[in-house]
């Protein structure tokens, strides 16, 4: 189901989390649970994977993660502000010291000049620090989602290797 490069990164991520005795939670919109799915493909992942929030709608972002209605109204679901609140909400609800949140426009419809197809915002909570990234990926829906998974794992691995 997942390409080998993603499975290898998921395996490394699970191993690094286990080595550091850390857990992870995800808050996923455009990937619909694929990030946590990649992590749980790894044997032994139950020691480090806490939970995943699939928050595809604005209502679920508010209800499950505590994203503010005001944030969604002012900036939209696909925004730096929203993924910041999603990542923090995933930490607050799970207690996991590492969280990743993603919200984007995977296509093939839904884009605009301001927010093109392929735009993905990433929010990371790394042991008390928030980090947000913005990427515009090329490709079809599946390719955008796979690139989102890979970028998430790359960023988590980069943090864990410090």
User: Which CATH number covers residue 98?
Assistant: 3.90.950.20
Model confidence pTM above 0.85: yes
Contacts of 149 (CB under 8 A, 6+ apart): 2, 6, 31, 34, 35, 38
Q: What is the pLDDT of residue 58?
A: 98
Mean pLDDT of 109-133: 97
Domain that holds residue 86: 4-160
String of DSSP letters for 10-43: HHHHHHHHHHHT--EEEEESTTTTHHHHHHHTST
Are 99 and 85 contacting, i.e. CB atoms less than 8 angstroms apart? no
Q: In total, how many domains does the chain have? A: 1
pLDDT tens per residue across span 57-95? 999 999 999 999 999 999 999 999 999 999 999 999 999
């Amino acid at each position: 189901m997942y390409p080998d490069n993603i499975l290898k990164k998921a395996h490394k991520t699970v191993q690094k989390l286990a080595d550091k005795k850390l857990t992870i939670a995800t808050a996923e919109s455009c990937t619909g649970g694929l990030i946590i799915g990649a992590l749980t493909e790894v044997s032994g992942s139950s020691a480090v994977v806490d939970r995943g929030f699939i928050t595809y709608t604005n209502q679920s972002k508010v209800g499950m993660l505590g994203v503010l209605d005001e944030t969604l109204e002012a900036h939209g679901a696909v925004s730096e502000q929203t993924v910041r609140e999603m990542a923090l909400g995933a930490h607050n609800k799970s207690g996991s010291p590492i969280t990743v949140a993603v919200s984007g426009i995977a296509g093939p419809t839904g884009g605009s000049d301001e927010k093109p197809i392929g735009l993905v915002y990433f929010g990371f909570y790394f042991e008390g620090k928030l980090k947000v990234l913005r990427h515009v990926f090329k490709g079809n829906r599946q390719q955008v989602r796979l690139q989102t998974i890979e970028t998430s794992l790359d960023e988590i691995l980069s943090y864990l290797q410090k």
